[in-house]
Amino acid sequence: MSFRRTPITLTHRLIWLFKRPLFWWLTIFVHTVVISGATFFYLVEHNVNPKPISFTDAVYWAIATATTVGYGDVTTSTTTGKWLSMGMMILGSLFSALYTAIFASALIAEDLETLETDLLQK
C-alpha cells in the first residue's frame, strides 16, 4: 500500500493551511484577545502598579502571559489585573492546543485522504 506517488511538499501543506478559514478566524481572534488584554492591563495597572507601565510593556505582558511564558518582569498588582492574567493564561493554553491541532491537520490531511482512497478501492 502506497500513500502517495508524488511527494507533497511542506509548501503545499502550508498553502492548504492558509486557505482554511478556521486558521484565519483563530489568528484574528488570538490577536484581538492579546491586544484587548494589553489594553485592559494598561488601563488597570498603569497608575497603580509600582513599576511604571507603558503600553509596550502591556503588549509584552499580554504576549508573555498568553503564551504561558510569563517571565515575571512585568506583573500585575491589582486583583482585577490578576483575574485578567488568569483569563489570558487559560485562553493562551486553549489557543496553543488549537494551533497545534490545525498545524497537525495541515501536515497529515492529504496523506489521510490518500490512505482513505486506497482503502476504499480495495
Residues 70, 75, 77: CA angle, nearest 5 degrees: 145
Q: Is 13 helix (H, G, I), strand (E, B) or coil?
A: helix
pTM of the complete model: 0.73
Q: Which domains does the chain have, with CATH numbers?
A: 34-109 (1.10.287.70)
**Cα–Cα distance, 87 to 79 (Å, whole number):** 13
Q: What is the pLDDT of residues 74-115, one digit of tens each?
A: 888 999 999 999 999 999 999 888 888 888 887 777 777 777
As a whole number of Å, the end-to-end CA separation of the chain is 10
Q: What is the pLDDT of residues 51-69, one digit of tens each?
A: 888 999 999 999 999 987 7
**Cα–Cα distance, 74 to 90 (Å, whole number):** 18
Grid coordinates in use for 42?
494598561
